[in-house]
Each structure stands twice: as C-alpha cells, then as structure tokens.
Amino acid sequence: MAKIIPIDVIKGISGKYGKDSDTYFATNSSSNKIRIAKLAHPYKGPATDKQLAQQEKFTARQAAATAWLNANKPGTTNGEKGTSAYQYAQRLKRQFSLSNINQVLYRYMDDKNVITLPEDKGI
C-alpha cells in the first residue's frame, strides 16, 4: 500500500503534478486549501479484483449521490433553497462539520445505495 507524505499547502490548484510524477494535489473544497502529497512506493501493476470492486462501488455510490442532488438541489424546479430534504442535508453538513453535502449523503447511504436521511428534528 502506498504511503502518503504531506509536503506543502498551496491554494487554487489540484491534480497530478506532472505526467509521470508521483506527486498529487488533494483539494479540500470547504477550506479551499490543497495538500501536496507524494506517494512513497506506489503500486504500478494492474488493478486487483478488490480495487476493481471498490472502483465499481464508488462509481455506484457517486451516481446515487448525484441523482439525489439533481432531484433536490436548488434550481428552477426546487426553488431558490432546494427541497426540504436538501436544506436538512445542509444543516446536517454543518452539524457534523463536513466539507460537502456528498459526505452527508454517503453517511446515510445503505449497501444498496439508497439514501435515507434521519428524521428531521429541527436541528
């Protein structure tokens, strides 16, 4: 497994440092800070079955979160603030000090990628 060693903090950029580089940029969208990370001993072989399964799981979870957001986010259909479920998810995001609403959705997503937010008790 690759070990990530933090190098520096830079604002306003993200991605891979160079085409054949093992240095990457990871963005924190809430703080707008980016960490530069260098992989020590990166794996260069083909993806394992476990890695492929994890990629498929992530793709399915991301698709479910995107569909939920598209159905509930602010816009012409849902109004200026979005649906009440979207507003509640935003409150949960603030309550848990999460950096984005997707983290709330993943927290309340089951094994079948169904998002069920807890009962809104007016937090």
Chain center to CA of 1: 21
**How far is residue 30's CA from residue 118's CA, in Å, rounded to a whole number?**
24
Q: Span 29-44, mean pLDDT?
A: 68
In the prediction, which pLDDT does 123 show? 54
Domain ranges of the chain: 3-40, 49-107
Q: Are 89 and 97 in contact (CB under 8 A)?
A: no
pLDDT tens for each residue of 49-70: 998 999 999 999 999 999 999 9
Q: Give the residue from 63, 89, 92 showing the smallest Cα distance to 78.
A: 89
Q: Which of 58, 59, 93 is nearest to 85 (CA)?
A: 93
Average pLDDT on 100-118 reads: 92
Say what percent of the chain tops pLDDT 70: 67
Per-residue confidence band for 71, with pLDDT thresholds at 50, 70 and 90: very high
For residue 25, the tally of other CB atoms under 10 A from its CB is: 16
DSSP state at residue 12 = S
